[in-house]
Amino acid sequence: MVKLQRVAIICGAFIFLVAMAVAVDAAGSGAPTATAKAVQTICQPTDYKEACQRSLASAKTSDRKELMKLAFKAATDGFALALKTCTELEKVNKDSKTGQSLSVCNDELSSAVEKIQQSSDRIGAVVLIKVDDVIIGDVQTWLGMASSAGTMCLDSFEWNTPQSDAAKAHMEKALKPAKELISNALVMVNQLDKRPSIPGM
């Protein structure tokens, strides 16, 4: 009886160790999760893959639409940070012409934030198995306007003065992440537009 108990204990311990070894091997194998695969897939066609992957680093889903909404949020945050930089520059600016440019930036970047938020709300209405061309068209238009806002902001610094050039340099640096993220968001939507609908769905 004692021998049987010892055998049972040994067998149980062996099974436990094997199970642990399998779990450790699976965890350490580096096999990508469904989320990681989805992030890799959605970021693959973008021009700024590292920025794309960073923007989706917190993702806990493989759902394409949810990943796109995360990407839109990252772009919104990027433009919001650029807008904050613009506001801070306005507070310390003493040059009237540079002030005009910063005012243009403020308006354009505020509009960009709104357009991206609109896009995120709108994309939530898309059923991915049957893409709605009207919705996708709206989102493409709004994201395009948001992207142009960054360009219009920088183009407004046309005075070629030390103050204007310095402010433009600050805004270029602040807008770099935002421009990359909005570019990625546009690519994601454009790729979605290319997906064929499933007949009968």
Domain ranges of the chain: 34-194
Q: What is the per-residue pLDDT for 192?
A: 80
Q: pLDDT tens digits for 16-34?
A: 444 444 344 434 445 579 9
Percentage with pLDDT > 90 across the chain: 71
CATH class of domain segment(s) 34-194:
mainly alpha
Give per-residue pLDDT as tens, 105-127.
Answer: 999 999 999 999 999 998 887 76
The pTM of the whole model exceeds 0.85: no
* pLDDT class of 128 with cuts at 50, 70, 90: low
Ramachandran bin of 121, using left for φ above 0, alpha for ψ from -120 to 50, beta for the remaining angles = alpha
